[in-house]
């Protein structure tokens, strides 16, 4: 039996994610968007590409959530991007309302699914999806670490003139300016980049990774990144549907790991068919612990804001 992946939001990230899933042969896709004709049009276009790409995946698109009935994984990309002049709290409140309209449909139509959240602010929206769904913690995950780590891998490979295939990287903490890039765990064929580059060069790569999304936005001027985010989601979907038990950085609920409790934050997880199988706790230096704790404080503030919104609408 073929797996079904539901994708909520047919914008650039959602549609490209659908494309990646279909072309990897991971399963069928149900694409949902409230904009009349958007999901249906992109689904038709992607269907017509199937004979040329050589896959058998089916995709349907509509405004109705009935399409996602029985989905094994549901990816939530719907939400507004942060616009000029919009504060982070404004973005949180706006996208929280969108998720509040989405998650009940996911629960009623795909109660056994694993939810992957892409909507920003990522950590807070993953927490909100967890609260609204009532799903076990293993089945609500945020996509951020895979993307941030891929960006760091790209920049390291570019700087050292090596294949990206030889570079592994790990980014923890909140998604955004407070992300924590672990240089000691960023390697080229097993060699830490701290052995290959001076500290100043490593810091430049780390800072560029923190600003990775903003760099794309500045260049595009009227949009934000979607190719790399879509590929990051596809990697997570693949790990689940193929039960790969992959070690990936992602936003998950911590219950004491890294000294953080009842907090959604980016950490290394083992990802398989049941969702988060394990949170892998790495040995951190005092400086790394302090940076992660500082990042977690920002996430905690956003989670508190989510709680206030839920209380106000209760």
Q: What are the chain's domains?
A: 4-142 (3.40.50.720), 145-305 (3.90.110.10)
Pairing of strands 180-181, 187-188: unpaired
- Give the integer Cα–Cα distance in Å for 113 and 294: 33
For residues 135 and 94, give the distance between their C-alpha atoms in angstroms, rounded to a whole number: 23
Contact at 8 Å (CB) between 73 and 7?
no
Q: What is the pLDDT, as a whole number, of residue 222?
A: 84
The radius of gyration computed from the CA coordinates of the chain, to the nearest angstrom, equals 19
Looking at residue 86, its pLDDT comes to: 63
C-alpha 71: how far from its chain's center?
A: 18
For the chain, list residues with pLDDT below 70: 82-87
Cα–Cα distance for residue pair 31/51, rounded to 1 Å:
20
Q: Are 59 and 29 in contact (CB under 8 A)?
A: yes
CB atoms near residue 213 (< 10 Å) = 22
pLDDT in tens, 69-124: 999 999 999 998 766 666 677 889 999 999 999 999 999 999 999 999 999 999 99
Question: Up-side HSE of residue 131: CA atoms within 13 Å toward CB?
Answer: 21
The beta-carbon contacts of 125-128 under 8 Å, at least 24 apart in sequence, are 125/76, 125/79, 125/92, 125/95, 125/96, 125/99, 126/251, 126/264, 127/264, 127/302, 127/303, 127/306, 128/96, 128/99, 128/100, 128/103, 128/306, 128/310
Question: How many other C-beta atoms can be found within 10 angstroms of the C-beta atom of residue 84?
Answer: 4
pTM, entire model: 0.96
Strand runs labelled E in the chain? 4-8, 28-32, 59-62, 73-76, 114-117, 140-142, 167-168, 171-172, 180-181, 187-188, 191-192, 246-255, 261-272, 275-279
Q: How far is CA 88 from CA 5, 56, 96, 281, in A?
A: 30, 41, 12, 30
Q: What is the structure's pLDDT at 80?
A: 87
Other CB atoms within 10 Å distance of the CB of residue 24: 17
Chain-centre distance for alpha carbon 55: 25
Q: Which residues are catalytic?
A: 175
CA dist., res. 223 & res. 216, Å (int): 8
**Are residues 115 and 133 in contact, defined by beta-carbon separation less than 8 angstroms?**
yes
């Amino acid at each position: 039996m073929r797996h079904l992946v539901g994708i909520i939001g047919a914008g650039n990230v959602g549609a490209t994610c659908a494309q990646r899933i279909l072309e990897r042969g991971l399963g069928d896709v149900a694409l949902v968007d409230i904009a009349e004709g958007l999901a249906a049009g992109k689904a038709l276009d992607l269907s017509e590409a199937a004979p040329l790409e050589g896959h058998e995946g089916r995709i349907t698109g509509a405004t109705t959530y009935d399409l996602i009935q029985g989905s094994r994984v549901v990816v939530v990309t719907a939400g507004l991007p942060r616009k000029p002049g919009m504060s982070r709290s404004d973005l949180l409140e706006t996208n929280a309302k969108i998720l509040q309209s989405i998650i009940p449909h996911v629960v009623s139509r795909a109660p056994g699914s694993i939810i992957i959240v892409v909507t920003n602010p990522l950590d807070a929206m993953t927490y909100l999806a967890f609260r609204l769904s009532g799903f076990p913690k293993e089945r609500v995950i945020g996509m951020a670490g895979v993307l941030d780590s891929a960006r760091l891998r790209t920049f390291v490979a570019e700087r050292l003139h090596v294949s990206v295939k030889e570079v592994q990287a790990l980014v923890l903490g909140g998604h955004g300016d407070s992300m924590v890039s672990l240089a000691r765990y960023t390697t080229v064929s097993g060699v830490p980049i701290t052995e290959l580059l001076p500290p100043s060069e490593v810091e430049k790569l780390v800072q560029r990774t923190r600003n990775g999304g903003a760099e794309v936005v500045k260049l595009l001027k009227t949009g934000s990144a979607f190719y790399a985010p879509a590929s990051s989601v596809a990697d997570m979907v693949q790990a689940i549907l193929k039960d790969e038990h992959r070690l990936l950085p992602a936003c998950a609920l911590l219950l004491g790991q890294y000294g953080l409790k009842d907090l959604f934050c980016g950490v290394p997880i083992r990802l398989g068919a049941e969702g988060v199988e394990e949170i892998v706790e790495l040995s951190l230096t005092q400086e790394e612990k302090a940076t992660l704790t500082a990042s977690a404080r920002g996430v905690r503030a956003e989670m508190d804001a989510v709680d206030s919104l839920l209380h106000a609408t209760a």
